[in-house]
Amino acid sequence: MSVTVKFFASLKEQLGCDGATVEIGEVATAADIWLQATGGKPMPPNILVSINLEYCDRNCPVKPGDEVGFFPPVTGG
Amino acid sequence: MSVTVKFFASLKEQLGCDGATVEIGEVATAADIWLQATGGKPMPPNILVSINLEYCDRNCPVKPGDEVGFFPPVTGG
Amino acid sequence: MRIELRDTPFDPWGELAAHEQAQVGLTGQFGACATFVGSLRDLNLGDEVHGMTLEHYPGMTERELGRICTEAAGRWELLDQLVIHRVGAIEPGEPIVLVAAWSRHRREAFEACRALMEALKSRAPFWKKEHLADGERWVDGNTAGY
Amino acid sequence: MRIELRDTPFDPWGELAAHEQAQVGLTGQFGACATFVGSLRDLNLGDEVHGMTLEHYPGMTERELGRICTEAAGRWELLDQLVIHRVGAIEPGEPIVLVAAWSRHRREAFEACRALMEALKSRAPFWKKEHLADGERWVDGNTAGY
């Protein structure tokens, strides 16, 4: 089963990629998804994580079909 | 020498008078002016006082030619 | 810095648009504009309000508003300030007061705008008389600001 | 409560006028409207800013803004809220964000408006990239809000 991954802003530029579809097993966290989507790069400490459009911890479990977002600190307003 | 006195809002209605010109001697305070302008009525404790358009204490000295205002707590905005 | 008393209804948003357009030098300088508009409610203390008369102390009111704005300019880094306040007869729903503060960053604009309103309400010599169904009454105090 | 993302310039004062006109039931109910407009300054960190691109996370941004407004409505007695935020390419001087809160009394409007802005800046997934004379840079944090 697959998970949709999205990268934003400076992170997207650093990775040279705005997203990916990765295959996961039955048990995976957002951090596992990151490793799979980036080919094993370490996740920078300030990166924020969302699952299905809601903020979550990088150790949150991910289910097949989920959309996982990774992005730098937000700077709107 | 004379002093101009002005009353505002509910105070003006209670006194039935929006102002007066009173004669003062060489030494007078705003409180003295009040007594002279109102015919000796006691000044209510919450009344605010101005001399020449600036807030002042009721014991501030008044000079001939000054304008003395008496009014209730303000309620603008 | 502009301070105005008005004896006829005013449109706060139109005033803000016109003020910013007239202050051409400000565009691109300010990153923040905080505003407050106070309007006449049609209900107060459980009673229907049919209208209001705003009395003021001509001369002292303008002077005190000027002092309030000058104090704010000394306390925060402001690029501009605008205060418009109604006097005379007011209908429910009409704006009573507009206060606006422009600054580079939002903290200053937010703090100055709120402080201007609190100073205005506690110091500027205005007095409100409400017109109710069965008579009139002087408003005898302000609701808590903080 | 209305939340909108815009990919073209908007006039905050015109938006406020139109919003109040459309919410006819509100007139006479609210005594207070606090607003904040954030605009693009032409200078930041000592560098001339020629423009900005605002990236966002479509779907999540709207959802997070909705959550922020719902939280504010639970914390303060608000009669209405309006949030408009630009995305895409922005020129210096253009508004980036408008936040407005309507309530019966001023304390609620002031507090909610400021809290909405702080929550928006710390939680809504937007990212600013500045265009300078000699290149681009991502804005890497917010100025202090309090």
**How close D23 comes to chain C (CA, Å)?**
12
* Residues facing D34 on adjacent strands: C36, D101
Sequence ranges of the domains in chain A: 2-71
The pLDDT score that the predictor gives to residue A17 is 96
Residue A39 has pLDDT above 80, yes or no: yes
pLDDT of residue C16: 98
What are A's interface residues with D at a Cβ cutoff of 8 A? 6, 8-10, 48, 50, 53-55, 69, 71-77
Local confidence band at D29 (pLDDT 50, 70, 90 cut-offs): very high
C88 reaches B (C-beta below 8 A): no
Phi first, then psi, for residue B38 (nearest 5°) are -105, 5
CB contact under 8 A, A8 and D129: no
Contact B27, C37 (CB under 8 A): no
**Chain centroid, CA A59 distance in Å:** 11
Chain A nearest CA to D93, separation (Å): 14
In this predicted structure, what is the pLDDT of residue C138? 97
Residue C62 tokens read as 């303008």
Chains contacting chain C through 3 or more C-beta pairs under 8 A: B, D
Q: Does the structure show a pLDDT above 90 at D144?
A: no
* Residue range C50-73, pLDDT digits in tens: 999 999 999 999 999 999 999 999
Question: CA–CA separation, D126 vs A28, rounded Å?
Answer: 27
Strands, E, within B10-73: which ranges? Answer: 19-23, 48-51, 54-56, 67-71
Whole-angstrom Cα Rg for chain D? 16
Question: ipTM strictly over 0.90?
Answer: yes
Instruction: Please give the angle made by the CA atoms of C99, D65 and C114, to the nearest 5 degrees.
Output: 20
Whole-angstrom CA distances from D95 to A42, A45, C29, D31 are 37, 32, 12, 26
Task: Judge: B50–C63 Cβ closer than 8 Å, yes or no.
Answer: no
Query: Other CB atoms closer than 10 Å to residue D141's CB: what's the count?
Result: 11
Classify C62 as helix, strand or coil.
helix
> Is residue C145 very low, low, confident or very high in pLDDT (cuts 50, 70, 90)?
confident
Phi, psi of C91 (to 5 degrees): -100, 150
Mean pLDDT of A9-15: 97
Residue B1 in this model has a pLDDT that exceeds 80: no
Residue D109: per-residue pLDDT: 98
Per-residue pLDDT at A1 exceeds 80: no
Quick check: C84 pLDDT over 90? Answer: yes
Of A60, A68, A72, which Cα lies nearest the Cα of A2?
Answer: A68
pLDDT of res. C144: 83
Average pLDDT over residues C12-24: 96
Q: What pLDDT shows up at residue D145?
A: 84
For the cut 90, the answer to whether the pLDDT of residue C142 exceeds it is no
Q: What's the fold here for domain A2-71?
A: Ubiquitin-like (UB roll) (3.10.20)
Tokens standing for D98?
A: 């408008």
Kindly report the average pLDDT of chain A as a whole number: 96
Q: pLDDT over 70 for what percent of chain C?
A: 100
For residue B69, the model assigns a pLDDT of: 98
Residue D54 scores a pLDDT above 80: yes
For residue C120, give the nearest of B6, B54, B77 by CB distance: B77
Q: Do C60 and B50 count as a contact with CB atoms less than 8 A apart? A: yes
pLDDT of residue D140: 87
- How many CB atoms lie under 10 A from the CB of residue D17? 17
- Give dist(CA D54, CA D96) in Å, integer: 9
Is residue D8's pLDDT more than 80? yes
* Pairing, β C88-90 against β C47-56: antiparallel
CA–CA distances in Å: residue D146 to residues C2, C100, C116:
27, 19, 17
pLDDT given at position B71? 98
Confidence of residue A23 (pLDDT cuts 50, 70, 90): very high
Average pLDDT of every residue of chain D? 96
Kindly report the length of chain D. Answer: 146
Q: Which chain B residues are Cβ-neighbours of C141 within 8 angstroms?
A: 73, 75
Across the beta sheet with A2-7, the strand order is A19-23, A2-7, A67-71, A48-51, A54-56
Cβ <8 Å between D14 and C13: yes
Q: Which residue has the tokens 């409400």?
A: C130
Round to whole Å and give the CA distance between D81 and D3: 8
Q: What is the mean pLDDT of residues C5-15?
A: 98
Residue B26 has pLDDT above 90, yes or no: no
**pLDDT at residue A30, as a whole number:** 97
Q: Which residue in C71, C93, A58, C75 sits closest to C83, CA to CA?
A: C71
pLDDT at B4 (0 to 100): 98
Residue B75 distance to chain C (closest CA, Å) = 5
Q: Which residue of A has its CA nearest to D39?
A: A77
Confidence of residue D141 (pLDDT cuts 50, 70, 90): confident
Q: What is the pLDDT of residue A52?
A: 98
- The fold adopted by the segment(s) D2-18+29-138 is Aldehyde Oxidoreductase; domain 3 (3.90.1170)
- Average pLDDT on B13-39 reads 94
Mean pLDDT of the region D17-29: 94
pLDDT band of residue A24 (cuts 50, 70, 90) is: confident
pLDDT at D96: 98
Q: Has residue D23 got a pLDDT over 80?
A: yes
Indicate the pLDDT class of residue B55, thresholds 50, 70 and 90: very high
**Tens digits of residue pLDDT in D106-134:** 999 999 999 999 999 999 999 999 999 99
> Is residue D76 pLDDT above 90, yes or no?
yes
By C-alpha distance, the chain D residue nearest C41 is D28
Of C37, C23, C22, C34, the closest CA to residue C102 belongs to: C34
